[in-house]
A and B are shown apart, each in its own frame.
Chain A
Amino acid sequence: MKRTLLTGNAAAAWGARLANVDYIPSFPITPQTEIIESLSEWIDNGEMPGRLVTLESEHSMITAAGSAAATGIRTFSATSSQGLLYGMEMLYTVSGWRAPFVLVNVSRGLSSPITLEPDHNDIFAARDCGFLQIHCASCQEILDSILIAYRLGEDARVRLPVIVNMDGFYLSFTREPVVIPDEESAREFVGNFDPENIHFSASAPESQAVAVLGGGPYSYFRYETHLAAMNGLAAYEEIAEEFGQRFGRSHSAVESYCADDADYLFVMLGSFATKAKEAVDRLRVCGWSIGLVRPRLVRPFPASQLQHLLADRKGIAVIDQNISMGMGGVLHSELATALYGQSGKQPILASFIGALGGRDIAIEEFFEIAEVIKQAASSGVTPPPRLLYTREELREIRKLQAVARAERDELNNNSGHKKGEAQ
């Protein structure tokens, strides 16, 4: 065991190293690249066994990860944003192969417009693909979650690939103190991958991922995958419990902070929840009864835990770092689904969208959000979804637009002149 400062990317690389992975199909993309660079360096220097291969695309990378896992070896891969979407066909495909591996996604906003900074539209685009999802809020959590993810994915009840998600820049490039477990205890915890019947071998021919005819068999295999994902809920609890006992760090499926007695709650995913925690602290000083709930496990969705945690509150603010065009925040609608039809008085469930493309959420905005849900709770009227944006930001974008307009006019005038001259 050693405590040191690590970026989120380095923590992810350590997670893969300690999980004793055999195979790493890779492809570069900012802000993930440091993960595969670290692993590649360790392998080249002989500091870790394993084989790293750079494919020519993420589509191929996910295919190779799936087919290697389907041959029975422990596989790791990492991507982000455009890469996750480029591989999307294969995310859906390989989860149906029921061969577990771990994929780290470093969340980054999607094009268009193209950006490097984080939000969760990439990972939510993969919401329904059959990979389980663990969302991290700290560098320590990234390392720990990778170890947990191997246990979870390889569990005989589950047998599914798992995505461990972190926010680009805010975690990927931020150094935090991280405890690196010693190799032996990490290996003891993760164990060897026992592929059982997952293999390609001359002595036991196997047809995998074959076509089906008709909705009957198709539905059967799709339901099976869903039920396996649902089995992940109980499996996760057991594995996280064991992890806690062994390493002294608890990573429950849903983190709650100052939530026990709180009338009001923020609900958020990932590292931006740390900002919400600070807001909770400051609001509590001013006498607010407020807390934070942060789902770590997003697939399978820990609905009953959330129902329990969110019951009997006055108001809940779901702050989504994603936007489903024409609908709104995805986490908000998932929570609404979980809470609908529960007995007892239902809390106000208000939707806020913020932090797209790495946009900050200022502490004052959390105060404002708290105020909005408090007023909603007393009036009993749920406020319309809010797109967080400040007057200052609007002024800034107006300036940029003015510059763009001026430049275009200039260009038009000049080319007009030239045309005139030529005539």
Chain B
Amino acid sequence: MSEKIEKMIRSTRDLPSTHLLGTGTPMCAGCGGLEALNGIYDILGEKTVFVNAAGCMTLLSVYPFTPFRGSWLYTAMASAPAGAQGIRDALDILLEQKRITTDDDLEVVVLTGDGAAYGMGLSATSGAMERNLDFIYVCYDNEGYGNTGQQYSGATPHAAKTATSRGFAGFRGYKKDLFSIWAAHNPAYVATVIGAEPLDLAKKIEKLRGMKGPRMIIALSPCPTGWDFDPRETVHIGQLALKSGIWPLKEYIDGKVTHTKVPRKRVPVEDYLSLQGRFRHLFEPTRNEKLLDEIQARVDSYWEKIEQDEAEK
């Protein structure tokens, strides 16, 4: 299946030149989440119903406007996957009873932030995967509760300053490994993506389109408002997240994790961190070498393990 798809999108030239999602949404300028959603929606297209949880993207559809050409249902913060369950089951029942034709069938897509995905909605997501629900989950991960003013969430990285971690060391906890938590459910597909790498993103969405069952996507979403950087840096910061190895691009299929883009010569993490106000306290007034080293060491040990695993193959 993927062979055929990879033939379809091989280079950036195969990517659509205009976006399907309407413009003029109330998302912030330079929103990395919207950037990722644009890429995703271009491929998923309008035969979709987006089931949304409370977050920034809830404001995409404000009565009477929507940028989507397909359908939309806003649920609540914790239960978008359950909303998807009801719709998927209902569509299946309507198809079974021949009350609709397959032409009217829809791909059901959950759209939530990290706060919902890593925290409040995790139980509903786990349930949907355990029931092998045929759906797509898109988590735009801006590493905090963005809509309420960027308080720390289960996705906030170590040392980041947020509205609820303003101390000299920033956030004391560590970013939760949602990819592994999801993969432990053995769903059809799990992948990380980022808007700044549109080809990798497009290939992955194209691939999951041809699959059935739970297909799970985490898109790291540079957030000018919450991370405190100039909106024009969104793509640059996204690329640095990849080059520094902070955000590994990978996918999980059939029990196997594959890295889809391995940064062979990684740039220091501080190249990524120093562009963002949420990490400024690591550099000013004095460099916090200890914390910087700790963050670098975690990234290094992640990739050492990956490289080791690859060498053993």
Contact = CB atoms under 8 A, between A and B. Distances in A.
Interface of A: 22-23, 25, 51, 53, 55-57, 59-61, 63-73, 75, 89-90, 93, 200-203, 205-213, 217
Contacts of B90: 22-23, 67-69, 71-73, 75, 200
A90 B82 CA distance: 11
Contacts of B97: 22
Contacts of A60: 78-79, 81-82, 85, 123-124, 127
Contact of A210 (B66, B79, B106, B130): B66
A72 B92 CA distance: 12
A55 B127 contact: yes
Contacts of A63: 75-76, 79, 82-83, 86, 124
A16 B74 CA distance: 28
A200 B71 CA distance: 7
A53 B68 contact: no
B78 to A, nearest CB: 6
B165 interface: no
27 contacts: A22-B97, A23-B86, A51-B92, A53-B85, A56-B123, A56-B124, A56-B126, A56-B127, A56-B130, A59-B78, A59-B79, A59-B82, A60-B81, A61-B82, A63-B82, A63-B86, A67-B75, A67-B85, A67-B87, A70-B86, A71-B94, A206-B71, A207-B71, A208-B72, A209-B73, A211-B63, A211-B74
A201 B51 CA distance: 14
B46 interface: yes
Nearest to B85: A64
Contacts of A55: 82, 85, 127
A9 to B, nearest CB: 24
A60 B116 CA distance: 14
B86 A201 contact: no
A184 B2 CA distance: 51
Contacts of B127: 55-57, 60
Contacts of B84: 67
Interface stretch (B33-41, B54-62, B258-266, B289-297): B54-62
A interface SS class: mixed
A64 to B, nearest CB: 4
A217 B63 contact: yes
Given A55-B82, A213-B62, 11 more contacts: A22-B90, A25-B85, A51-B93, A56-B123, A59-B76, A60-B124, A93-B75, A93-B76, A200-B91, A202-B47, A208-B73
Contacts of A208: 71-74
Nearest to B97: A22
B240 interface: no
B309 to A, nearest CB: 33
A68 B90 CA distance: 5
B70 A202 contact: yes
A295 to B, nearest CB: 31
B89 A205 contact: no
A344 to B, nearest CB: 46
B59 to A, nearest CB: 6
Contact of B75 (A200, A209, A213): A209
A64 B86 contact: yes
Residue from A64, A66, A70, A206 with most neighbouring chain B CB atoms (10 Å): A64
Interface in B95-121: 97, 99-100, 103-106
Contacts of A64: 82-83, 85-86, 89
Contact of A57 (B73, B76, B86, B124): B124
A203 B72 contact: no
A54 to B, nearest CB: 8
Nearest to B66: A207
A225 to B, nearest CB: 15
